[in-house]
Structures are given as C-alpha cells and as structure tokens.
Structure 1
Amino acid sequence: MVETDLVRSLLEARIRLTVPIWSIVRESQTVEDIFQEVVLRALKQHDQFTDEGHLMAWSRTTAKNLAVDFLRQRGKSQVMDAGVLDRIWTISDEDAQGLKERQDALRNCLKTVPPRQREMIRLRYGEGLSCAEVATRIGTTLDAIYKRLSRTHSQLRKCVEVALQGETS
C-alpha cells in the first residue's frame, strides 16, 4: 500500500479508532499517543498491507493491544470482558460520524463553560484524576466536586442537545 494512501485511510478512520481506544484507557493524551503509534507502525510496514480492509483490521487489533498494554503497564487489570472489548471495535461509519458530531458539539460547548469548571473537567477527564484527587488539587471538598460535576454535566448535555438539534434542522 502506498504511504500516502495509508495515512489518508488512517486519518479518515481516526474517530473509529480513537473512540474505542478512549473507552479502554480513558485518558485523552494516551488516546492520541496510541493513535500516533498505530500510524507510525503502519508506515514502517506499509508494503505488507494488501488493501484498506487489511490495514483497518490490522490497525484495530494493534490499537486494542496497545490500549490493553497501557493498562497493564499502569498496573490496572482489564476493566472489560473480552467480548465487550471486541464489540467496541465494530463501530460503523455512520456511528463514527454521529460520534464526531457529538464530539465537535461538546468541544464547542466546553468553550462556554467558565474557566474553573473547565479546569475541573480537564483534571477529571483529561488527566483521569479521581474526584477526590480533583478536590485536593482544586482545594475544595469531595462533595463540592460531585455537585459541580453534576451541574456541569447537565449544562454540557443540554448544550450538546441544542447544538445537535440545530444541525439536524
């Protein structure tokens, strides 16, 4: 497979590959690192891929293995049954497009959240800290974090719903 076609195919399939990775590792930066590693490994052996289907099958397997390896290196056991893990990787193109639209809407909605709430969200989901760790880092109580997260989740959910309704109208 030609390198330019390989890169194009992987970039077009980015959402289909990164969403399942995130569901395993739950750390945004690690998702990006794993995706980049898949691309680099694919480029090193580009001549072994017969077609795009072969590349995608190899990429899904490689990404899944890298994600599970990441958990093992962190001393975390696999949090999902193997059957569930396999089903995660069967996201269709239509599902991937819907996920991308939701992701874009969420990204835009996050811009409307006050900086302190955005920082709390970044710590909790971007860095993968527990609520107790977020409370310590911010200097507040665990109960306050739970309440703030709940309100922020609600605010973001409503904003995303409105944004997606605007797209379908």
Structure 2
Amino acid sequence: MELESQHVKLLCATAEGDRRAFAKLYQATSGKLYAVCLQLLQRRDLAEEAMQEAYVKVWHNAADYHNDKGSVLVWMVSIARYRALDILRSASYRRETRESVQEQADSSGPQGALFEQRDKVRIDECMDTLEDGQRQMIQLAYFRGLTHAELTEHTGSPLGTIKSWIRRGLQKLKRCLEP
C-alpha cells in the first residue's frame, strides 16, 4: 500500500477514535516530526514537548484533515512546526535560553564570553552587507523558522526569487565569515 494512502487510512481511523491506528500513525511519522521540532528548538526536551503537543492536536483534529491541505505528513509536520514556533515565541523559552547562554558564558570565563561576543558582532556586520531582500529572507527563514512557502505568502514574492535571495545571501555570508 502506498505510504500516503496508508497515512490517510490511519488518520481516518484515528478520527474515529482508534488508538491502535493512532499508535501506528505515530510510529510511521514520529521520526520526521521529531526532526522538525529538534531542528527549530535545538533542545531535545523542548522538541519532545512540541511533538507531544502536536500529536495531541492530531488526535483531537484528525477529522478536520482534508486532502486539499496536502499530504497527511505535510499536515502533521505543519502542526508540529507551529507547536515548536509557539514554544520559541513563549516568554519562558526566551528566559530559559538567556539563562542557558549566561551559564555557558559564566562557565567558559571571560575569554569565552569575549569570543562569543566577537563572533556575534562579526555575524551582525556580515548580515549588514547583504542586500535588503537577502537579509530579510535569511532572517525570516533561519531566525523565525518560516518555510519557503510561508515566505512566499508573507512577502508576495515568487518562490524562485525567495530561493535565489536565500542562496545568494548565504553564499555572501559564507564569504564574509571565512577567515
């Protein structure tokens, strides 16, 4: 059976309250969802939290899925991404991140903090050398976690243009940051 049709079948059964189908759907998709969450959050505990919240939402909203929203996996990944982005936006995440960075700076001593600050300044200086479109796309994609499709929607620019801005911007950043 084709993977997508298997996902649809499992999701439909999940919508009817079938826990076994939900467990199979989890087994089939959890690796991908976890990878998405971990990539955005950079912490296992937060990625697991986002993934758990995403699967709770999938369980409760399985009946709301429609084929015109894309494949089941794409629909589930978008739920997981939004849960991860919600965590990133939360005040507690920002506070924990600040505390973690401060602890790392304290443990590495003044020299480590100096190197870290110098690298941050260098990255900021290199970002300032980018064209406006390149800088905006890189900030939205890498610092706010928007996908190419969301960038297209957000900016109204064609997908090819967005990809070009990001590619050229990253190449320019790489050249700027190389010793």
TM-score, normalised with respect to structure 1: 0.43
Q: Which has the larger radius of gyration?
A: 2
Q: Answer 1 or 2: which has greater helix percent.
A: 2
TM-score, normalised with respect to structure 2: 0.41
Structure showing greater relative contact order (alpha-carbon pairs closer than 8 Å, 6 or more residues apart): 1
